[in-house]
Structure 1
Amino acid sequence: MDEPQQPKPYLTNEDFAHVGKGLLMGGADVVPGVSGGTIALIVGIYDRLVTAVSRCDGTLFGLVTSGRWCAAAAYVDLRFLVTLGLGIGCGVLALGSVMHFLLEHHLQLTYAAFFGLIGASCWLVGKMIPKWNTAEIAMLVIGAAVAVWVVNQPTLKHPPDGMWYTFFCGVIAICAMILPGISGSFILLILGKYHDITGIIKNAAHFEVNARDIGSLVVFAFGCLVGLLSFSKFLKWLLARHQSVTLATLTGFMLGSLCRIWPFQVDKTPEIKEFKDKEFQLLDVSEIPVDTQLALVIVIAVVSAAAVILLDRATSPHNSDEKPLVEEQ
């Protein structure tokens, strides 16, 4: 892991590199099934990122309150976090409106891509476990069972509109976003908030936001901040001490959640224009029409899965099954 650097008064090539890496992470975080944590792993900054965020603690508070600003910036690796965060924000803005359009106008093909991405991500995360023992298998089953129960809750079919729920979604989604192999966008999709958030991003990209959009975005961002600060230390400890069981649980959760994005669904409310208010019915395998659309869905799912597998191969130089994803300090 790169050691935190002392703050510098000017932009460097390393700063631009971090913006570029953040751009990749932000773009990945918008796509359900592609994890920004995986991208961080690929580009070699995952350990540094988790460590930097986990240092938002009492030591940092003491440095700030005593007026030792430079020491505080160095301790939390502020320059790295700011440049990376700038890139992530640009990546989210660039791709958010595209995903919103695809959901509204090409739902089946978009879900086919998501299904392939997340299905392959299950393999990717499971592959990080060196040896499957009874504990790992048990947590896989528990994770899958919890996911099936969660995605079938009536509340998630028509999620609450309140700001408290937006805050809650931010807390949960950011925790997933910093985990390798787990997509925060997929969590938002399960929670029924993905379309709303990408809609706000689309409006922001076109400078068409209203007061409610701004309020929702601020509350969501605050939820992300709270989730990040409260979860980062626990995540660092969890991955350093209990990596296999943690990853097995996550694998099971993703497997159980696949029914949420089953590509073959029938719109039961075609008269309703608002996507979030629509109701869809899943088709059984025997009910799926055999036509060119079916072939296209299969091709898109397979290509998407192949993309994740190729992405995993790119992580090989940076990830080893012989050591934890993060080092305990």
Structure 2
Amino acid sequence: MNFIGLFKSRYPGVVLRGMGMGAADVVPGVSGGTIAFITGIYQELIESLSRIGPHCFTIWREQGLSAAWKYINGSFLLSLFLGVLISIFSLARVISILLQEYPILVWAFFFGLVLASILPILRNIPRWSPSTIAFLLLGVTLAIALSELRPGEIPATPLTLFLSGALAICAMTLPGISGAFILLMIGIYPKVLTAVHTLQITNLLCFAAGAALGLMLFSRLLSWLMHKYIARTLAFLGGILLGSLKIIWPWKLPMDNAEGVSTKLAPLLSNTSPSNFMAQTGESAHIGAAITVALVAVVLVLAIDYFGGAQRGKSCATPQ
């Protein structure tokens, strides 16, 4: 395993992609899987993760560590998750502050990001059929149904943190379903953020263990679906992404049954129009700034999609 050459060639770019995924996953409502897809590494990520398992140890024992590392695409995964960790530990507090101070602009940016991300997914569907359309609509329905859930509250025990990690990581690998959003729905999100900020090692290890197990199991399922039913799988993912726009609509008001809630997080708020937002709150809707930020996000995604098109086209060209 050549650690010296790890960050040569493409790996610095993979670290940056990982940082983008980590930044997205901190925000409840935005998925790191979306960033992976629009930057052209989604298929490679799923394939690499699906190879992690007992078979790796067989290869290690029979052919050596270098062969096992190459088999799981270890340099790619190490670079990617290094970027994710850097982003989470460096940007978690910043993004939380931005969500509190500039919620409309933050949500507008991610709204533009997700909206533009739908195009690369749908364009890579190899063929359309009635079943493909049905799976697209199913994805939209699922995302909207999730957006209607109301936050719960469960205690942060080692078991609940383990199970929460497994559930959140499954959502994180899907474009359009946010792991942070799922954590917020079950009441664990604030506790995980606190554990990150204050370095509660035991809680972080329990959460990470659950995430590792969930990632190994779910990546295998997703890899199989991407190979066996790529058209319907991509349509379903695109539908989830489309439906998730409801979650990250920029202008929101506290729900009737959430009086006194000061958080700017989406699940505790209901969507409204910019004009009604101004009328109800007396605050500026920042329409011009929100549109500008959203357009910047759209241009960013389209530029990434354009320059990464060749790589993504190869990864999604597997026939159904």
The TM-score with structure 1 as length reference comes to 0.76
Whether 1:12 aligns to 2:5 is yes
- Stretches of structure 1 that go unaligned for 5 or more consecutive residues are 1-6
The residue that corresponds to 1:94 in the other structure is 90
Give the distance between the partners of 1:245 and 1:200, measured in 2 at CA. Answer: 38
The residue that corresponds to 1:3 in the other structure is none
Specify the SS of the correspondent of 2:253: strand
Give the distance between the partners of 1:23 and 1:224, measured in 2 at CA. Answer: 21
Give the distance between the partners of 1:311 and 1:216, measured in 2 at CA. Answer: 36
Residues 68-125 of structure 1: CA deviation (Å, up to 9, x unaligned): 5454344434444334433332233333222111112211221111211112222232
Structure 1 window deviating more from structure 2 (46-55 vs 123-132): it is 46-55
- Return the offset for 1:245: 0.4
C-alpha spacing 1:172/1:26, structure 2 compared with 1 (3 Å): farther
Identity in percent: 26
- Stretches of structure 2 that go unaligned for 5 or more consecutive residues are none
Whether 1:304 aligns to 2:307 is no
C-alpha spacing 1:119/1:161, structure 2 compared with 1 (3 Å): farther
Structure 1 window deviating more from structure 2 (115-124 vs 50-59): it is 50-59
The residue that corresponds to 1:129 in the other structure is 125
Whether 1:251 aligns to 2:243 is no
The within-5 A match list for 1:77-226 is: 77-154=73-150, 157-163=151-157, 164-178=159-173, 182=175, 186-192=178-184, 197-198=192-193, 200-201=195-196, 203=197, 208-209=198-199, 211=200, 214-226=201-213
Quick one: which amino acid aligns to residue 125 of structure 1? I
Give the distance between the partners of 2:54 and 2:263, measured in 1 at CA. Answer: 46
Residues 31-87 of structure 1: CA deviation (Å, up to 9, x unaligned): 2557457547746x6555444332223322334567954543444344443344333
Aligned residues: 305
The residue that corresponds to 1:27 in the other structure is 20
Specify the SS of the correspondent of 2:16: helix
C-alpha spacing 1:219/1:275, structure 2 compared with 1 (3 Å): farther
Give the distance between the partners of 1:305 and 1:15, measured in 2 at CA. Answer: 30
- Return the offset for 1:188: 1.8
Give the distance between the partners of 1:189 and 1:34, measured in 2 at CA. Answer: 9
- Return the offset for 1:151: 1.7
C-alpha spacing 1:314/1:172, structure 2 compared with 1 (3 Å): farther
Give the distance between the partners of 2:194 and 2:128, measured in 1 at CA. Answer: 41
Quick one: which amino acid aligns to residue 249 of structure 2? W
The TM-score with structure 2 as length reference comes to 0.78
C-alpha spacing 1:326/1:239, structure 2 compared with 1 (3 Å): farther
Residues 201-253 of structure 1: CA deviation (Å, up to 9, x unaligned): 4x2xxxx43x3xx3332233222211221122222222122111011111111
- Return the offset for 1:191: 4.4
Give the distance between the partners of 2:133 and 2:274, measured in 1 at CA. Answer: 27
2:54 paired residue among 54, 58, 62? 58
Specify the SS of the correspondent of 2:312: coil
Whether 1:280 aligns to 2:269 is yes
Quick one: which amino acid aligns to residue 30 of structure 1? A
- Return the offset for 1:296: 2.1
- Return the offset for 1:152: 0.8
C-alpha spacing 1:58/1:277, structure 2 compared with 1 (3 Å): closer
